[in-house]
Amino acid sequence: MTKYLPTIIELHKTVTELRKSEELLDGIPDWMQELHQEHSARKAEIDELEEAIAEATQERRGTEGEINEIREKVKQYQEQISLVRNQREYGALLQEIDGAKEQIKGLEEQALAAMERQEEAESKLGEERQGFEDLDARYAVELEKWEAQKPQVAEEAERLRGRIEVLRERLPKPIQGQYERISARYGGEALALVVKIERGGRGANMWHCGACNYRVRPQAVVQIQDHGTLEFCDTCKRILYLDEAAD
C-alpha cells in the first residue's frame, strides 16, 4: 500500500510556505512593519490636513462669492432708492438692504472662520511635512532594501510551486481532489493533528482531533501509525496526522 499521508503533509507544508511567500511579496516584511505603520499613519495625517485645507479654501471661496452677489444686490437696491414713489416702497427697500447686510455679516463670519481653519491646517501641515521628510527618507531606504530582497523571495516561491507540482503528481487524482476540497473548506487548513488525551497512565490511550476536539477512533490512530493511511476526522473530516516527535 502506498503511503500518501507523508506526501500530503509535505504538500500542506509547502502550500502554506508558498502562501506566506506570496503574501510577503504583496505586502511588507516584518522587519519594516513598524516603520511602515508609522509612515502610513503620518502620511494619512498629511493627507487629512491637505483635505481640510482644500475644504476650508473651497468654503471660503464659496462664501466670498455669495457675499459679492449680495453686495451687488445691495448696490441695486440703493440705486432704486432714488426711484421710489412713496414711503411704503422706501421702507420695503430699506428692509431688503438691512436683510442683505445682515446676511453679509453672517457670511463674513463664516468666511473668516474658514480662513482661520485653513491657516491653522496650513501651519500644522508645514510642521508635519518637516518631520515627515526624515521619516520618508528612512522609509525609502528600507523600501529599497526590501525591493532588493524581493527577487530572492520570488525565486523561493517559484521553487515551492515546482515542489507542489511534484508532490501533487505523486497523489492519485481523487486524493488530490479530496485534499483540495477539505483545504478550500478550511481556509487552507486541511490537516488536523491527532492529540493524545492525558489520562495520567490510567486506562487505554485515547485521542482527539486537534482541530475540532472530537474523539478519534483508536483504530484510525493505529492505521496512521502503522500504515500511513489517510484517515479523516469523523466530525470535521480533516485529514488526520500524528506528531512524529510524540510517542
# chain residues binding Zn ion, by CB under 5 A: 6
In the complex, minimum distance from the CB of residue 213 to Zn ion, in angstroms, rounded to a whole number: 7
In the complex, minimum distance from the CB of residue 194 to Zn ion, in angstroms, rounded to a whole number: 9
In the complex, minimum distance from the CB of residue 237 to Zn ion, in angstroms, rounded to a whole number: 7
CB atoms within 10 A of CB 66: 15
74 binds Zn ion (CB under 5 A): no
Out of 11, 211, 221, 239, the residue judged to bind Zn ion by CB under 5 A: 211
Residues 6+ apart with CB under 8 A from 81: 90, 93
**Which of these ranges, 41-49, 116-124, 183-191, 207-215, lies near Zn ion under the rule CB under 5 A?**
207-215
**226-245 mask for Zn ion (x: CB under 5 A)?**
-------x-xx---------
**Which of these ranges, 15-23, 67-75, 202-210, 221-229, lies near Zn ion under the rule CB under 5 A?**
202-210
Contacts by 108-116 with C-beta closer than 8 Å and gap 24+? 108/63, 108/67, 110/59, 110/63, 111/59, 111/60, 111/63, 111/64, 111/67, 114/56, 114/57, 114/59, 114/60, 114/63, 115/56, 115/60
194 binds Zn ion (CB under 5 A): no
Grid coordinates given for 22: 506570496
212 binds Zn ion (CB under 5 A): yes
- Amino acid identity for residue 70 in this structure: I
Identify which of residues 167 and 191 has a Cβ nearer to Zn ion in the complex: 191
Identify which of residues 36 and 208 has a Cβ nearer to Zn ion in the complex: 208
Identify which of residues 53 and 211 has a Cβ nearer to Zn ion in the complex: 211
CA distance 92 to 73: 14
Nearest to 231 by CA among 185, 153, 178, 159: 178
217 phi and psi, to 5 degrees?
Answer: -60, 135
Identify which of residues 223 and 235 has a Cβ nearer to Zn ion in the complex: 235
In the complex, minimum distance from the CB of residue 195 to Zn ion, in angstroms, rounded to a whole number: 10
Grid coordinates given for 198: 492525558
- Distance, first Cα to last Cα, the chain: 24
In the complex, minimum distance from the CB of residue 210 to Zn ion, in angstroms, rounded to a whole number: 8
How many angstroms separate the Cα of 108 from the Cα of each of 115, 134, 233? 10, 40, 75
**Which of these ranges, 77-85, 116-124, 174-182, 201-209, lies near Zn ion under the rule CB under 5 A?**
201-209
Out of 209, 221, 224, 239, the residue judged to bind Zn ion by CB under 5 A: 209
Nearest to 106 by CA among 66, 138, 163: 66
Interface residues toward Zn ion, by CB under 5 A: 209, 211-212, 233, 235-236
